[in-house]
Amino acid sequence: MLFYPHAVWFLRLFTLATGCWLRLLGARRRRLRCGEVTLAYTVAGPPDGEPWLLLHGLGSVGAGWAPVTRALRRDCRLVIPELSALGGSRSPGDCLGVPQAAEVLTRLIETEFGGRPVTVAGLSLGGWMAVRLALQHPEQVARLVLVDAGGYRDQDWKRVESLVRVDGLGGVDRLYSALFVRVPWIMRISRAAFLQTYTSAAVRNALDGLCEADTFTAADLARLAMPTALIWGEHDGLFRLEAGRAMAAAIPGARLDVLPGCGHAVHLECPGALVAALQRCRRASPVTAGRRPAGAPLASPAK
């Protein structure tokens, strides 16, 4: 693995800065132990707000949801787990696999929301996990939001793998061309940090652990009965728009919201458009916030 010392410092600085910013927004850090996993996560918003679970993508951290957190925190209760060691969670292989994630996230929903069904919003690999969670535990999902989601079986997986298996700065540039229409300045100056992340054990092990059995088909998607919205970058070069259209056609009553001029990483390239799309989802399928049942638990500290 290539090593860039300044990249490590950049990642640490970015994590520290976003963490401080989230705390200024009222967010708080918690941990939950579930078997071999100690899950780090962030909570924000009023405890009785509309419940949301936000799942980030491969090679990312929960702070990537910062613009969404800022927009929704006033009337939504946001829980944002770290799905790998990059964000401070501890698990075998430094990452949560897709099958393992459903179990851990189920425990998190029960712990933080006390039985209330939640809106599960997942981006890329997080969207893949969101679909699996919704299929296995539909009673926990009040609304499903899939943002440029991975996991749909009927697409060119060799092409996808050739993009995400990054082994040099040339590979970073190829992946950037799939993630962005216009590369944000923060990503242009952090190519080495991005390379360090995508050659980390957390990302490599996550990719190595994926298999065809974890993917889902149109028949699987047809079982989803909760209100579902798909949000897709018009020029997503990783999971192309045609996959989003096929998924939307397979899910009963699903809505597809295409964001013009955006690539795959809409949360970084087009955060304002993403927030607007999420608000459209809320208006199209309102969910009652409800209240935590009396005596329902808050997060239990890791022991």
CATH number at residue 155: 3.40.50.1820
Residue 295 lies in a domain: no
Q: What pLDDT was estimated at residue 187? A: 93
Strand-pair category, 76-81 with 37-44: antiparallel
Q: What pLDDT was estimated at residue 293? A: 38
Residue 169 lies in a domain: yes
Say if CB 267 and CB 123 are below 8 A apart. yes
Beta strands in 72-171 (DSSP E): 76-81, 118-123, 141-147
Residue 70 lies in a domain: yes
Q: Average pLDDT in the 218-237 region? A: 98
Q: Average pLDDT in the 226-251 region? A: 98
Q: Which residue has the tokens 């974890």?
A: 214
SS3 of 149, please? coil
For 20-44, write each residue's pLDDT tens digit: 666 777 789 999 999 999 999 999 9
Q: Average pLDDT in the 90-102 region? A: 94
Residue 297 lies in a domain: no
Residue 30 lies in a domain: yes
Q: What pLDDT was estimated at residue 236? A: 98
Residue 185 lies in a domain: yes
Residue 302 lies in a domain: no
Q: Is the pLDDT of residue 136 over 90?
A: yes
Q: Average pLDDT in the 139-161 region? A: 97
Q: Is the pLDDT of residue 139 over 90?
A: yes
Q: What pLDDT was estimated at residue 296? A: 39
Q: Is the pLDDT of residue 271 over 60?
A: yes
Could you tell me what percent of the chain has a pLDDT over 90? 83
Say if CB 53 and CB 105 are below 8 A apart. yes
Q: What pLDDT was estimated at residue 16? A: 62
For 60-78, write each residue's pLDDT tens digit: 999 899 999 999 999 999 9
For 5-20, write each residue's pLDDT tens digit: 444 455 555 556 566 6
> Which domain range does residue 52 map to?
5-284
| Positive/negative CA dihedral, 62, 252, 238, 138 | positive
Compute the 3-state secondary structure of the chain and give helix, strand, coil in percent, each to the nearest 5.
45, 20, 35
Q: Is the pLDDT of residue 1 over 60?
A: no
Q: What pLDDT was estimated at residue 302? A: 40
Beta strands in 14-75 (DSSP E): 28-34, 37-44, 50-55
Domain total of the chain: 1
Residue 303 lies in a domain: no
What does pLDDT average to over the chain?
90
Q: What pLDDT was estimated at residue 115? A: 77
What pTM, to 2 d.p., does this model score?
0.91
